[in-house]
Structure 1
């Protein structure tokens, strides 16, 4: 392997399903730095891409870089390269927070996630936090909460004033954002991540799991969430929030630009706070990540492009196209008064505290379905918090036995 860029004309082929413009913009910037390099990005619809990925990787015409939406069977089938040598050469372990890289680590059979060899490197992240309506908060005399107790007090204050405390769309199970955010802040990133990765002996029946399930059930029962939450999808809840229906909204950074456009200068964003002001910041998140296929013709150049994705220049490109930067989040420029500034600040703090936690939804092949159905039952008062947790743990046990 080498970290040198080839001197002659060379084409780097990249396969992926990312269509926000991030990869193309990164490619254009990389080409400008290295005029002898042409980056050929081949886009495929995500469903077709995932279905055909192993065939693409095993082909004699395999790309030099391939997006991984999940590790799947690519590692077990020896279709992608171990990136540990490149991580050492480019010092990714020092520059990228471990909680971000670890999402793409696995043992050699690809079953145990979160540890082992590095099989892909990130090109941008998304993160879930809490949006809040600044105008409504000001009317209620509420400042951005700095502890979970303050957040809970704000819910009570909003409800007493006749305003909806939390906007929620749960048709597709997005109450999991609320539940997991509480779990992560209560138990800490390490314990939540262990459960998400399927570490033997892990359980959702923790203090945080109990608090998260109980709070979600209680908030729904007290009317802190919309009565029709189970019949509203995430885009619908976002639209309702931007119309002033809700003080808070648990949602991802992917909606920041749209929310800011709908209510410019009137929306903020923060990671759900912990027990104290100094509690480590946590956030639910995952990344767009690329692997180097075993049959790549230009693996060293591919690694150089991956390394560029962690540069200061790339940070602004990633942020400007809807993703959190791999590194250097503190350098991105945002419009004055935009919620994007709050998102960037939150992302930097989460990275600094190693607080990024993988989505619980991806813990098993069926966990998203379980979180959706069980979450609707909990919000609808059909199951108890204990029964909700039992459903999640049973799915986890089946998926990791």
Structure 2
């Protein structure tokens, strides 16, 4: 993978081939090229976008960047770096709670005053409803196919066959978060955790050891449904990453009604019944869970590397992260990721040319550096293949963990990105499961029913 400098965006010079290659980025999106058919989109963009940005860099313009609250600090840093390069273009953030983002975004994109830039997780639906701009002209103009791996671009392509081929609707660079298991170093030492758990059984042993030592095994927030990170990790681990991706991308015959999905959910139910979560999990949101974790009130926190921007500086050096363990020694390690340096332009945006400059900026080293500082593995990093150990610094663990997942071809996506209705239902079901009001089979059946009813809307 090659990342261009800002000057390279305006001349043919490129870095030497492979200089900034990372297996992590390639692995994250290699799965997208092999997805099956999905819902047929019917683009309703008023007219083809020519991506004529020649005058946009020197003209006053204002962009609105819609982002989830959990990534707002990163989005602001990215916007600041862009405005430094294009001082006449102002970027303003519009934020929404993480658990509401998928539900709110389609309505905003369909409004008369939509955000110019956003990351629609339901890209098929956004294309089908004509909410996002066809970026083929931008891809040609900025030569993105020479800059960005085809496997990364594939995640932003939509055709009648679904995601993975066809016209481009998300553009930019290629970098994303690692979702895994954060741990408190002091508490890990107290319970005798002396190596990274690499299987679910080993992880469960650590959970039991913490519980027996009077330490809360997992600090979770479930008022906002963010136990969903752990649930999605379990789904991908037991179903396999491709089967989960097929559900998220709504490929024909994709289903949650499988023994593997129910086995994954049963593991979560067992851990809840064993008291492995904080007692107030259903009552607190993510900020409160971060506070508990940083205060030493729990051994593990299951989340993404955006958390590094929210934990207090006084906690720096006192925590680490490792990839979620594999089902067994012969199975891959799995994680969710998305292309945090790729986004869409609203079809009703009044500043498409300036927005296109923002997308092209995303494939520069300056933008990749912002991603790296925000805890997202960057294409500028070359540590792919490194082993994750408990004594590494967290930035080393993030890069090595990302590479571990990539080596196993284990990246997938969040189930709640399948449809807005699934997102809402999953939060409801997770709260019921932790409260003991439902069981694994009933939860999967409810999610499958919601998925089947909403996937082709």
TM-score strictly above 0.5: yes
Instruction: Return the TM-score normalized by structure 2.
Output: 0.71
Secondary structure at the aligned position of 2:338 is classed as strand
Matched, 1:40 2:90: yes
Q: Aligned-pair distance for 1:305? A: 4.6
Q: Hey, what does 1:141 align to over in structure 2? A: 192
CA distance in 1, matches of 2:187, 2:89: 47
CA distance in 2, matches of 1:172, 1:220: 17
Q: Hey, what does 1:186 align to over in structure 2? A: 238
Number of aligned pairs?
A: 383
CA distance in 1, matches of 2:199, 2:213: 21
Q: Hey, what does 1:379 align to over in structure 2? A: 434
Q: Aligned-pair distance for 1:278? A: 7.2
Cα distance 1:340–1:302, how it changes in 2: closer, same or farther (>3 A)? same
Task: Select which of 252, 261, 286 maps to 1:209.
Answer: 261
Asked if the contact 1:121–1:291 (Cα under 8 Å) also holds between the matched residues in 2, the reply is yes
Q: Aligned-pair distance for 1:222? A: 1.2
CA distance in 1, matches of 2:225, 2:249: 20
Cα distance 1:299–1:53, how it changes in 2: closer, same or farther (>3 A)? closer
Task: Select which of 58, 61, 64 maps to 1:10.
Answer: 58
CA distance in 1, matches of 2:335, 2:263: 17
> Which aligned pairs between 1:22-171 and structure 2 lie closer than 5 A?
22-28=77-83, 30-31=85-86, 38-46=88-96, 51-55=107-111, 66-70=117-121, 71=123, 74-76=126-128, 78=130, 80-84=132-136, 86-87=138-139, 90-92=143-145, 95-96=148-149, 98=151, 101-107=153-159, 112-113=162-163, 116-122=166-172, 125-142=176-193, 143-171=195-223
Secondary structure at the aligned position of 1:125 is classed as coil
Q: Aligned-pair distance for 1:400? A: 1.6
Asked if the contact 1:310–1:325 (Cα under 8 Å) also holds between the matched residues in 2, the reply is no
Q: Aligned-pair distance for 1:282? A: 2.5
CA distance in 2, matches of 1:27, 1:379: 43
Instruction: Return the TM-score normalized by structure 1.
Output: 0.80
The gaps in structure 1 that reach 5 residues or longer are 32-36
CA distance in 1, matches of 2:403, 2:312: 20
- Per-residue displacement from partner, 1:11-37 (whole Å, max 9, x unpaired)? 375431245313323314544xxxxx8
Matched, 1:388 2:443: yes
Q: Aligned-pair distance for 1:396? A: 0.6
Matched, 1:314 2:364: no
Q: Hey, what does 1:34 align to over in structure 2? A: none
Alpha carbon RMSD of aligned pairs, Å? 3.7
